[in-house]
Amino acid sequence: MRSGRLGGLLAGATALLLLGTGAALADGPPRNWEMGFQGAATAVREQMDSFHDLLLIIITVLTVFVLGLLVYVMWRFSAKRNPVPSKTAHNTVIEVIWTIAPVLILLIIVVPSFRLLYFGDRTPNPEMTLIAHGYQWYWGYEYPDQKVAEYTSYGVKDEDLKPGQVRMLSVDNPVVLPVDTDIQILTTAGDVIHSWAIPAFGVKKDAVPGRTNETWVRIDKPGVYFGQCSQLCGTDHAYMPIEVHAVSRAEFDKWVVEKVGPNPAEKPKLLTMTWDQAQARTKLAQAGQ
């Protein structure tokens, strides 16, 4: 009976702690007293969390084992218990074990590690592209598929913050991206090396002058996500944040039309299919089967 009450109290306390700290929430800024990583908003980030959990188990087991071994050695081979010390210099079995064991541990780690590296590298068939240009000290964004010309994104200064905006994270012109869409992200820079990084997406890609780097993201749920330049790029490095608004495809298409205007030189690529387009795609898929 007591153990049942204790378990209920612990569960209730844990729930209150999680609610109070905002743990496991993927969108929005970090929260006070939040523990652990920010919640995952992409499949790449979920695999990163799983890989971290595996490494945490391995590290914990090794640490406990080594600590126990040290305590045993201090007790078993103390001067009081061994007034005449052993003259043993080599032990073939132990030497073989401590050579093979690290190799086996590395083999256990390397499989999910390479799987994650290849999965997070790029998407073979992106549905759209975002180009992020790093400058001292702001970002420029371009949507080539949607014919959205590059626009600038500056961090909002403290004196200009509006209700709901976050100090040192909110920007004047955020990135707008659709959910449930394979998005190719290309990064480059116009002056020094920057780095486009958003923790909830599991994305961190350097923006290098004269070079284009590639990554990708598929956002699982709508929300507002924040990141920052994570490469030391000068005196205002801390003042070039990243703000992404993840919206539905229909909302994204509406934003594109507002951004491009009523008479673009070329028709922008919209992501929401009409009923006729959906039917045509279904027929093509059935014909392929």
Band (25; pLDDT cuts 50, 70, 90): low
128-270: CATH topology is Immunoglobulin-like (2.60.40)
pLDDT band at 174 (very low <50, low <70, confident <90, very high): very high
Q: State yes or no: pLDDT of 95 exceeds 50.
A: yes
Q: Looking at the predicted structure, is the pLDDT value of residue 35 above 90?
A: no
For the chain, how big is the Rg over CA atoms in Å? 26
Contact yes or no for 121/202 (Cβ under 8 A): no
Q: How far is CA 235 from CA 157, 190, 192, in A?
A: 15, 16, 12
How does the average pLDDT of the chain come out, rounded? 84
pLDDT digits (tens, 9 = 90+) for 226-245: 999 999 999 999 999 999 99
Domain boundaries, the chain: 43-121, 128-270
What six digits make up the tokens of 181? Answer: 């869409």
CATH value of 43-121 in 3.30.70, 1.10.287, 1.10.260, 1.10.20: 1.10.287
**% of the chain at pLDDT higher than 90:** 64
- Return the sign of the alpha-carbon dihedral for residues 122, 128, 133, 137: negative
Give yes or no on whether 43-121 and 128-270 have one common fold: no
Q: If you average pLDDT over residues 64-72, what whole number do you get?
A: 95
Looking at residue 2, what is its pLDDT? 41
Average pLDDT over residues 264-273: 76
Question: What pLDDT digit, counting tens, does each position of 188-220 carry?
Answer: 999 999 999 999 999 999 999 999 999 999 999
Write phi, then psi, for 5 (nearest 5 degrees): -65, -40
Q: Report pLDDT digits (tens) over 102-112.
A: 999 999 999 99
